[in-house]
């Protein structure tokens, strides 16, 4: 039917329909939340805090703002796990499903709010029994299984801050994070199922502790895959043993609104990850608000699915804290989208069915799906036939997050998954922002493919030029102009870095690190990072982190890393490496160097390609010109190379790159 039945929107020279059309049934155009917030943004957030959350003591002040330090709702007291669990059970909704869990091998568990509360109370007693007290920190390194939210919520019940470490990270990452946070306990599992096999976790914890994290006294291990890991006497404990011995009741302790809730480490422009600090009352207010309005939530009937991993902020805010605060039912899936149920695993892996996600949506009747552009582009590549063969008619809202979505992927998502009847919410936010910041609201915003549109009610953003002047049309840098409830409160143990990274580039503004453009409708298009942070499949990795891992290899003398444009993953890591005199170049060595990075940082940081080069392009002052390396990687014209100390270097690299181009 081409575009016959719906109005066509012109965007970037392409023609697309506006989402107001496909959201027509629900289109309210109701701007009242924006108007209310614009009249008094503090009062607006105070109303949300009181209406969406249960406080054991009301706050006396809404916001104390001593730039760049914010305190939201000081004087107020509440408990996160009580907001997520007890109050729903007390209201008679204990039988409502909190999580429909599906493991990769097809095992399922239905966990009600009452079940979850019972486990959280017991596990909070386990933590107390191991000596954990309010203000302590612990680390969590787990697969996507229900024990992971249980562990997080048990922490919040007694005021212990968690630091979740993504299960794909390496032992080094565990050591660094445990040392930085002085974590007393690590909660892990023997392994988790990934791509059809158990993927070991406990051995990585052992390796991390061998290197040394002296603060860690205990390790708690869930037996997920029965892989029989080594257990150190006195240090390591089975989850099921501790749970069997624990008392069942543990009252929720009221916490100050500004009590530390969690640390989540994220990459910055240096090799050392930053421990982003989130606190209690403001964080929970904004994630509950956005989860409710951005996904047009109907908690009594919806089956919501955020297909992220809890190891990233998206999972913290939109698998655990937002959905549970709002008392809704979620799907939680352990594995990867290209691993079908065991009965569908015929022949080679390459021949396996590619419809696990669509199958899950159909079986559970999923109403909202929240995923990343990388995943969407991968589904496009696998082919329309997989989603087209399933009944996806229960879906009402589709979400995307993590990187800019190209209009083609947006349209594919809209047609093949949303069947042209679901609004798409393109949500821009960051680990640092805690919750959604810039996104359409279903039924309210007329969307356009490729833009996150405008800030949510109560959040204020501006694109500025190099001098910090607001840009009303055209390109610049994304800044936030007012404090927001779920903003980071700092970087753990590094106040100066907090000030420098976010608040010193443009006076009085939060600098997001992203480039952005304002179009003639005043819509914001996020263009990606402008600093030395790469975005690979929606995951942030710093160039210097990968460079340090490269030079850690004994054959490597010097290295430079850039994010090259990649059709599927957004950016791909490309490393340029100068070998030490004693090493000789070979394909095996290149491969070994790639794997070395994976070993140091985890598989997400493994370079897609490593090029062995005679030299690196440097300015006369010795600074590596990454722009040129990016141009080489992208196959672009090199532009101005006159500032190079030795212009011939780039040509040599380019010739080498073309010759050695592999995966």
Binding site for ligand WTA (CB under 6 A): 266, 312-314, 401-404, 426-431, 452, 512-514, 526, 528-529, 535, 540
Q: Residue 246 or residue 398: which is nearer to ligand WTA going by CB?
A: 398
Closest CB to ligand WTA among residues 59, 428:
428
Q: How far is the CB of 527 from ligand WTA (least distance, A)?
A: 8
3-class DSSP state for residue 149? helix
Cα distances (Å, whole numbers) of residue 604 to 105, 170, 491, 569: 23, 10, 23, 11
Minimum Å distance from CB 436 to ligand WTA?
9
| Residue 191 Cα distances to 204, 227, 439, angstroms | 10, 7, 36
Is the CB of residue 105 less than 8 Å from the CB of residue 155?
Answer: no
Is the separation of the CB atoms in 463 and 479 below 8 Å?
A: yes
What's the closest the beta carbon of residue 621 comes to ligand WTA, in angstroms? 29
**Closest CB 62 distance from ligand WTA, rounded Å:** 26
Closer to ligand WTA by Cβ: residue 535 or 569: 535
- Beta-carbon contacts of residue 536 (< 8 Å; ≥ 6 apart): 563, 566, 569, 570, 571, 572, 573, 604, 605
Secondary structure element (H or E) that encloses residue 517, with its range: strand 510-518
**Smallest separation, CB 352 to ligand WTA (Å):** 29
Q: Do strands 474-480 and 260-266 pair parallel, antiparallel, or not at all (unpaired)? A: unpaired
Output the smallest distance, CB 657 to ligand WTA, in A: 26
Shortest distance, position 315 Cβ to ligand WTA, whole Å: 10
* Closer of 364 and 428 to ligand WTA (Cβ): 428
Centre a 10 Å sphere on the Cβ of residue 304 and count the other Cβ atoms it contains.
26
- Distance of closest approach, residue 69 Cβ to ligand WTA, in angstroms: 21
Distance between CA atoms of residues 442 and 329, nearest Å: 20
Q: Which is nearer to ligand WTA, 290 or 548 (CB)?
A: 290
Strand 397-401 versus strand 368-371 pairing type: parallel
Query: Beta 490-491 vs 274-279: how paired, if at all?
Result: antiparallel
Closer to ligand WTA at the Cβ: 112 or 163? 163
Cβ proximity to ligand WTA, 535 vs 542, nearer residue: 535
**Residue pointed to by tokens 């999580």:** 99
CB of 565 to ligand WTA, least distance (A): 14
Letter string b/e over residues 464-475, b meaning 16 or more CB atoms within 10 A of that residue's CB: beeebeeeeeee
Write the DSSP string, 300-314. TT-EEEE-S-TTSHH
Indicate the residue among 123 and 525 with the shorter CB distance to ligand WTA: 525
When CB distances to ligand WTA are compared, the closest residue is 431
Classified as helix, coil or strand, 22 is helix
- Cβ closer to ligand WTA: 364 or 379? 379
């Amino acid at each position: 039917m081409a575009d016959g039945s719906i109005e066509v929107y012109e965007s970037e020279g392409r023609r697309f329909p506006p989402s107001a059309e496909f959201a027509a049934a629900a289109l309210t155009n109701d701007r009242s939340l924006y108007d209310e917030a614009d009249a008094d943004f503090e009062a607006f957030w105070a109303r949300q805090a009181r209406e969406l959350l249960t406080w054991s003591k009301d706050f006396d002040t809404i916001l104390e703002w001593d730039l760049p330090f914010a305190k939201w709702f000081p004087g107020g007291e509440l408990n996160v796990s009580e907001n997520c669990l007890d109050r729903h059970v007390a209201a008679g909704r204990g039988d409502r499903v909190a999580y429909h869990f599906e493991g990769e091998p097809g095992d399922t568990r239905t966990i009600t709010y009452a079940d979850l509360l019972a486990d959280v109370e017991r596990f909070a007693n386990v933590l107390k029994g191991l000596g954990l007290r309010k203000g302590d920190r612990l680390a969590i390194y787990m697969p996507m299984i229900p024990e992971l939210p249980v562990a997080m919520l048990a922490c919040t019940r007694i005021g212990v801050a968690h630091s979740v470490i993504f299960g794909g990270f390496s032992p080094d990452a565990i050591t660094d994070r445990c040392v930085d946070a002085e974590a007393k306990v690590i909660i892990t599992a023997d392994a988790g199922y990934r791509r059809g096999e158990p993927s070991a976790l406990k051995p990585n914890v052992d390796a991390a502790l061998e290197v040394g994290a002296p603060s860690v006294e205990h390790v708690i291990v869930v037996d997920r895959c029965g892989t029989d890991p080594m257990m150190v006497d006195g240090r390591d404990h089975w989850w099921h043993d501790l749970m069997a011995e624990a008392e069942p009741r543990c009252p929720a302790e009221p916490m100050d609104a500004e009590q530390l809730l969690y640390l989540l480490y994220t990459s910055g422009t240096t090799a050392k990850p930053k421990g982003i600090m989130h606190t209690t009352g403001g964080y929970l207010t904004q994630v509950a608000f956005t989860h409710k309005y951005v996904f047009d939530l109907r908690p009594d009937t919806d089956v919501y699915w955020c297909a992220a991993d809890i190891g990233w902020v998206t999972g913290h805010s939109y698998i655990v804290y937002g959905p549970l605060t709002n008392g809704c039912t979620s799907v939680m899936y352990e594995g990867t989208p290209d691993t079908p149920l065991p009965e569908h695993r015929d022949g080679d892996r390459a021949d396996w069915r590619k419809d696990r996600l669509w199958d899950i949506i159909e079986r559970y009747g999923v109403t909202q799906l929240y995923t990343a552009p990388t995943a969407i582009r991968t589904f496009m590549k696998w082919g329309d036939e997989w989603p087209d063969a399933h009944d996806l008619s229960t879906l009402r809202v589709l979400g995307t997050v993590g990187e800019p979505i190209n209009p083609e992927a947006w349209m594919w998502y809209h047609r093949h998954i949303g069947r042209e009847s679901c609004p798409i919410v393109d949500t821009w936010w960051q680990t640092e922002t805690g919750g959604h910041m810039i996104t359409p609201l279903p039924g309210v915003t007329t969307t356009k493919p490729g833009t996150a549109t405008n800030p949510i009610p109560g959040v204020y953003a501006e694109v500025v030029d190099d001098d910090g002047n607001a840009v009303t049309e055209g390109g610049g840098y994304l800044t936030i102009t007012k404090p927001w409830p779920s903003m980071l409160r700092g970087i753990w143990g590094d106040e100066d870095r907090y000030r420098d990274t976010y608040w010193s580039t443009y006076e009085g503004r939060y600098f997001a690190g992203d480039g952005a453009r304002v179009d003639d409708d005043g819509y914001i298009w996020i263009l990606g990072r402008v600093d030395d942070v790469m975005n690979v499949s929606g995951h942030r990795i710093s160039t210097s982190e990968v460079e340090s891992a490269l030079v850690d290899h004994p054959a490597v003398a010097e290295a430079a890393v850039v994010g090259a444009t990649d059709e599927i993953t957004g950016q791909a890591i490309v490393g340029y490496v100068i070998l030490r005199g004693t090493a000789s170049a070979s394909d095996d060595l290149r491969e070994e160097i790639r794997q070395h990075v994976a070993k140091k940082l985890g598989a997400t940081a493994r370079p897609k390609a490593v090029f062995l080069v005679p030299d690196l392009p440097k300015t006369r002052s010795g600074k590596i010109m990454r722009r040129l390396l990016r141009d080489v990687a992208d196959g672009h014209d090199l532009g101005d190379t006159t500032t190079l100390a030795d212009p011939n270097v780039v040509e040599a690299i380019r010739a080498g790159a073309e010759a050695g181009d592999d995966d």
